[in-house]
């Protein structure tokens, strides 16, 4: 049923531009934001418990599936491809009710994050490290955690420097490693309340049963997360990367379950071999 509904959601996004925006509740609004590592649309006061997608001016879907669901208050954050320009928010309830919000120009956010990594420790804790290269009126970093990569909760806060044009290093030690694996991201908060979010990173300390092997994001830019493998197995013995011609290409391990494939490589198709399984990757 879920797959059928997702197909219907995509089809809806193709004809939704003909709808009238006032089908949304009065006061519903949406704003697009461009951060250093992610782009997203913040929706407020729309239809509750509804799946949300973003499309560009040509009617193409540019947000990531599975689609997020609005809260009972009609709020949601929807991440989209930073290489695209968002134009329309499509909101669909399972009961068939739907509405649309037109988007204005995106807002560029001031905090710039260069790196964000996670590394398991011997005591089953996880050390999170990140580096900012620019802070303008920054307030704090909120560490968020998830067990499924979709639903995140706040677990801690780290005060930001405020204003800086030099590299600053931060860290946080999470001693509560749920089920031996977790997803993390940072919520970047400015003094005026403006928000940004980092990429999502995955970590598995090998203490729990492993999920099926998979990789994300795909398409990728340079960094790839390896899901379903213990961090201790993320090494050159278990992982090989090849270009479309079959030649091995270079990569480096940057976190417990993260690798960066040579960023100088051209766009195209690459093959990742992970513990005997093969994955086709597309570089943006």
Looking up residue 93, the CATH number of its domain turns out to be 2.60.40
Per-residue model confidence (pLDDT) at position 142: 97
Highest mean predicted confidence (pLDDT) among 102-111, 116-125, 194-203, 247-256: 247-256
**202-221 burial by CB neighbour count: b if 16+ within 10 A, else e?**
bbbbbeeeeeeeebebeebb
Q: Is residue 209 part of a domain?
A: no
Residues 14, 34, single domain; the answer is yes
Residues 101, 116, single domain; the answer is no
Q: Which of 172, 204, 236 is the last residue of a domain?
A: 204
- CA pair distance 128, 224, nearest whole angstrom: 17
Residues 154, 188, single domain; the answer is yes
Q: pLDDT averaged over the chain?
A: 85
Residues 16, 88, single domain; the answer is yes
Q: Which of 51, 80, 108 is the last residue of a domain?
A: 108
Residues 99, 121, single domain; the answer is no
Residues 25, 104, single domain; the answer is yes
Question: Considering its fold, how many domains does the chain have in total?
Answer: 3
Residues 117, 200, single domain; the answer is yes
How do residues 161-183 score in pLDDT, each as one tens digit? 988 878 999 999 999 875 678 99
Domain that holds residue 145: 112-204
Evaluate if residue 110 carries a pLDDT over 80.
no
């Amino acid at each position: 049923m879920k797959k059928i509904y997702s197909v219907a959601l995509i089809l809806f996004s193709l004809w939704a531009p003909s709808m009238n925006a006032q089908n949304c509740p009065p006061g519903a609004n949406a704003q697009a934001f461009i951060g250093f590592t992610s782009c997203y649309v913040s929706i407020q006061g729309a239809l509750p418990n509804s799946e949300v997608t973003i499309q560009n001016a040509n009617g193409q879907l540019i947000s990531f599936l599975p689609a997020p669901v609005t809260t009972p208050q009609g709020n949601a954050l929807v991440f989209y491809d930073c290489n695209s320009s968002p134009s329309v928010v499509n909101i669909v309830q399972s009961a068939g009710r739907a509405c649309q919000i037109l988007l204005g120009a995106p807002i560029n956010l001031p905090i710039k994050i260069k790196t964000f990594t996670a590394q398991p420790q011997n005591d089953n804790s996880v050390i999170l490290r990140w580096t900012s290269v620019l802070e303008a009126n920054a307030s704090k970093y909120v560490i968020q955690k998830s067990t499924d990569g979709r639903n995140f909760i706040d677990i801690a806060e780290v005060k930001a420097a405020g204003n800086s044009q030099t590299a600053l290093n931060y860290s946080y030690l999470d001693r509560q490693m749920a089920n031996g694996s977790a997803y993390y991201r940072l919520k970047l908060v400015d003094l005026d309340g403006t928000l940004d979010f980092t990429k999502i990173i995955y970590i598995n300390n090998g203490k729990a049963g492993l999920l099926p092997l998979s990789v994300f994001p795909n398409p990728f830019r340079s960094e790839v997360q390896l899901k379903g493998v213990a961090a201790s197995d993320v090494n050159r013995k278990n992982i090989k990367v090849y270009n479309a011609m079959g030649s091995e290409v270079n990569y480096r391990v940057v976190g417990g379950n993260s690798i960066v494939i040579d960023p100088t490589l051209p766009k195209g198709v690459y093959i990742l071999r992970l513990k005997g399984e093969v994955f086709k990757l597309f570089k943006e």
